Amino acid sequence: MSDVRHVLVLPDRDAAEEAAEALGERFELDEEPRIVRDALAGEDDAEDAQWLVVLRDEDELLDPARLDAFAGEWDGWREEP
């Protein structure tokens, strides 16, 4: 079993929270996505942060293209591993 993770990068906390909730409705997930704040290098301002939604996909069932399109609905993207 591999430890595959998908990381969706979103512009703000609201988008990350909405996306995390919608992920559970749209995709069959084994566990809840994790939301992580990622401060940009050298920036102290909370406005200069990206929000990450981290998904575990041990069985590699999630389609990266569908996740790309999903993240785009919130003006985000999926990071390549």
All structural domains of the chain, each given as residue ranges with its CATH number in brackets, are 5-79 (3.30.70)
pLDDT tens-digit series, residues 2-24: 678 999 999 999 999 999 999 98
Q: Which residues pair with 54 in a beta bridge?
A: 7, 34
Low-confidence stretches of the chain (pLDDT beneath 70): 1-2, 40-48, 81
Amino acid 34: pLDDT: 95
Amino acid 49: pLDDT: 81
- What three-state secondary structure class fits 26? helix
- What three-state secondary structure class fits 79? strand
CA dist., res. 9 & res. 79, Å (int): 7
Amino acid 48: pLDDT: 66
Amino acid 67: pLDDT: 96
Predicted TM-score of the model (pTM): 0.85
Amino acid 47: pLDDT: 59
Residue for token pair 């909730």: 21
CA dist., res. 9 & res. 1, Å (int): 25
